[in-house]
Amino acid sequence: MAIEILMPALSPTMEEGSLTKWLVAEGDAIQSGDILAEIETDKATMEIESVDDGIMGKLLVAAGSENVAVNTVIAVLLEDGDDADAVPTATAPAQQPEPSKSDAADAPATTPEAPTSPPAFEPVVPMEVPEGTKMIETTIRDALRDAMAEEMRRDEDVFLIGEEVAQYQGAYKVSREMLEEFGSRRVIDTPITEHGFAGLAVGAAFTGLRPIVEFMTFNFAMQAIDHIINSAAKTRYMSGGQMACPIVFRGPNGAASRVGAQHSQDYAPWYGHVPGLKVVAPYDAADAKGLLKSAIRDPNPVVFLEHELMYGETFDVPDVEDWLVPIGQALVRREGTDATITAHSRMVGFSLQAAEILAQEGISVEVIDLRTIRPLDEETILASVRKTNRLVTVEESWGRMGIGAEIAAMVTEGAFDYLDAPPKRVHQVETPLAYAANLESLSMPNPERIAQAVREVCYV
């Protein structure tokens, strides 16, 4: 059968072009790969190669023709037994093959093979702490360690990888004694190679292992952010649900103390922006433990943001077996009626202090610990604002495009009619963080600044 050669598109947007030159003549023997012609658009010149073998039957568009529409038949190639004279000479554009949009039911629309379903995952439900449960005073550091150790005892596929996590016992001693218990196969010291070991861990997670990747701090995860976003967060979607990536990226986030601009930054809004990730930032030890255990069991990539200045703080952790806190649920840490404060991580403590100050002044504040940045617990926040009619958001990151900006937008969309004042955002000032003690403290939120923002939304 004769083969029609069509005017090709050089790009999805090209509609027509010029046929500048034929490199073959009628009657020439053509092999696949031979250059047939040169075409040109305002952007590029390209050669048309033959895909088939045969004899050039007819050249239907003359060299030098301009404005040749894409998909016009420009030549006809004859295969064995074809007759050149039987070839039509019309040069109308060939029918554009219309993608058929028939119902999925008509056409075999299934993927060629059934995707293997990701490992079964039981959603974590909030746990009741029974009356009389013993509470154990635990530092956040130990709560995190206990979470990892418990999950590693429970699941052989879980391992910890990062810089100084094994022999040195963790740069912040979070992985203390883990090497001794689990050995170097499962507690793995890496070279200083964030980009590489993050990618390596994501690759391992693609096969179903459950890596916990410790970044010495999240400042250094910038080296690896490509793998966190492009490889971990997007692969499930890009694979049509075939590939899972059960991985936890964890480490200290936010400003430490007097360590300067490159070591002081809250990345919550960076990761909170990305579909395909879950982002968790706990405040106290019970949440640190329960949320980290949930994160390790989660079938999705989870970014788990800790706080260096909180590692040594002590809180009660319920002495129950398998303490789990569900990802995606905020916690009302203090109930109130006059204004709502939202905060995460260390800022929750500052907000509770602010609420204490304000209570002296007769202002009743509700403090919401976000706990999870993505997915945000919209319901809890909206319910609170509908009650208090006023909102102050607190975060360590910069304000522009930040968590507070997001929450303010969400509340404006979801509870506009309930607001008695424009929301206010408390955050780090819009500069890199200074080293000098006075400038550093001028930059960051503190209880008094939070209290002042609440007074302002209450118009007092």
For 187-287, where are the E strands, in sequence order?
187-189, 210-214, 248-252, 254-255, 264-265, 278-280
If one counts every other C-beta atom within 10 angstroms of the C-beta of residue 202, the result is 23
Question: Rule CB under 8 A: is residue 320 a binding residue for another protein?
Answer: no
Taking a C-beta distance cutoff of 8 angstroms, is the pair 342, 368 a contact? yes
- Residue 1 CB, nearest approach to another protein (Å): 12
End-to-end CA distance of the chain: 87
Kindly tell me which of 49 and 356 has the beta carbon lying closer to another protein: 49
Catalytic annotation on 227? no
Q: Binding another protein by CB under 8 A: which of 24, 35, 61, 383?
A: 35
Q: Is residue 278 part of the contact set for another protein (CB under 8 A)?
A: yes
Residues 6+ apart with CB under 8 A from 17: 7, 10, 39, 40, 41, 67, 68, 70
Looking at beta carbons only, is 79 or 335 nearer to another protein? Answer: 79
Alpha carbons 122 and 323: distance in angstroms, whole number: 15
Catalytic residue, from 150, 194, 395, 396: name it: 194
Among residues 279 and 457, whose Cβ is nearest to another protein?
279
Which of 81, 108, 132, 362: binder of another protein (CB under 8 A)?
108
Which range, of 105-113, 134-142, 170-178, 342-350, touches another protein by CB under 8 A?
105-113
Among the listed residues 4, 40, 263, 313, the single catalytic one is 263
Q: Single out the residue of 124, 149, 205, 347 in contact with another protein (rule: CB under 8 A).
A: 205
Q: Is 263 a catalytic residue?
A: yes
The binder of another protein chosen from 81, 83, 112, 438 (CB under 8 A): 112
C-alpha dist (Å) from residue 235 to 203, 223, 227, 239, 308: 11, 19, 10, 6, 31
* 213 close to 250: Cβ distance less than 8 angstroms: yes
Of the residues 83, 103, 128, 417, which one makes contact with another protein according to CB under 8 A? 103
Strands 29-30 and 254-255, bridge-based pairing: unpaired
Residues 120-159 that bind another protein (CB under 8 A): 121, 159
Q: Which residues inside 207-266 make contact with another protein, applying CB under 8 A?
A: 207-209, 226-227, 230-231, 235-244
Piece of 115-123, 124-132, 147-155, 419-427 that binds another protein (CB under 8 A):
115-123
Q: Beta strands 365-369 and 331-334: pairing type?
A: antiparallel
Which residues inside 182-201 make contact with another protein, applying CB under 8 A?
185, 190-191, 193, 195-201
Active site positions, annotated: 194, 263
